[in-house]
């Protein structure tokens, strides 16, 4: 498809007509239309710069500035109208938070160097370990690990499968008119 970085879902014929940097806009059940970005607007390149900075900092305003845009609500308007941009935004934040978590884990495990200069001119270096941070990270890990261990048993999965099949059969009957016209 020749469409730009972010194409809103829609009529694929219309999406195929979209050029680089353009997006297909859906509006209230009407025929989709192609929107060409303004030169001073959120071009594909500016979107990529924004998302890269968002992944690095988890800071929307810093990311807006890195993209060369003026602070304001335009990035939120773009996020609202473009499902693809919304998805990329979520991925960028997830990446940023993963980096932050790694940095915090490193700090909790390896501590930070603290330099203390004594009155007699002797400089001592020690490591400080943020125990509160370490405890919070352990709690989060424990909750995540516990959730990962809880898997649906095969009986539970089989029951869900049976219910889905029953619902699909009932829907098929209703659509074909076999349910007595109800």
Q: Of 22, 78, 30, which is closest to residue 50 (Cα–Cα)?
A: 78
Q: Read off the tokens for 37.
A: 């970005």
Q: Read off the tokens for 126.
A: 């020690």
pLDDT 10s per residue in the chain (182 long)?
A: 333 444 444 444 444 444 445 555 555 666 666 666 566 789 999 999 999 999 999 899 999 999 999 888 789 999 999 999 999 999 999 999 889 888 888 888 888 899 988 888 899 998 888 888 888 877 877 776 666 566 556 677 788 889 999 988 888 888 888 766 55
pTM over 0.75: no
Instruction: Write down the pLDDT at residue 6.
Output: 43
CA atoms within 13 A on the CB side of 56: 11
In angstroms, the Cα distances linking 80 to 39, 73, 84, 115, 162 are 20, 11, 10, 48, 38
Instruction: Write down the pLDDT at residue 146.
Output: 67
Q: Read off the tokens for 57.
A: 């900092």
Q: Read off the tokens for 4.
A: 């730009």
């Amino acid at each position: 498809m020749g469409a730009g970085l972010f194409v809103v879902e829609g009529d694929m014929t219309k999406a195929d007509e979209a050029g680089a940097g353009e997006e297909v806009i859906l509006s209230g059940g009407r025929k989709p239309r192609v929107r060409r970005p303004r030169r001073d607007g959120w071009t594909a390149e500016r979107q990529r710069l924004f998302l890269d900075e968002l992944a690095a900092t988890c800071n929307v305003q810093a990311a807006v500035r890195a993209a060369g845009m003026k602070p304001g609500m335009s990035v939120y308007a773009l996020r609202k109208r473009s499902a693809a941009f919304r998805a990329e935004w979520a991925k960028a934040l997830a990446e940023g938070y993963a980096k932050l978590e790694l940095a915090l884990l490193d700090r909790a495990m390896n501590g930070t160097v603290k330099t203390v200069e004594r009155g007699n001119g002797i400089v001592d270096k020690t490591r400080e370990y943020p125990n509160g941070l370490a405890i919070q990270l352990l709690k989060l890990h424990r909750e995540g690990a516990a959730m990962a261990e809880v898997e649906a048993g095969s009986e539970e999965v089989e029951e869900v499968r049976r219910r889905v099949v029953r619902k699909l059969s009932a829907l098929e009957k209703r659509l074909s008119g076999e349910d007595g016209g109800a």
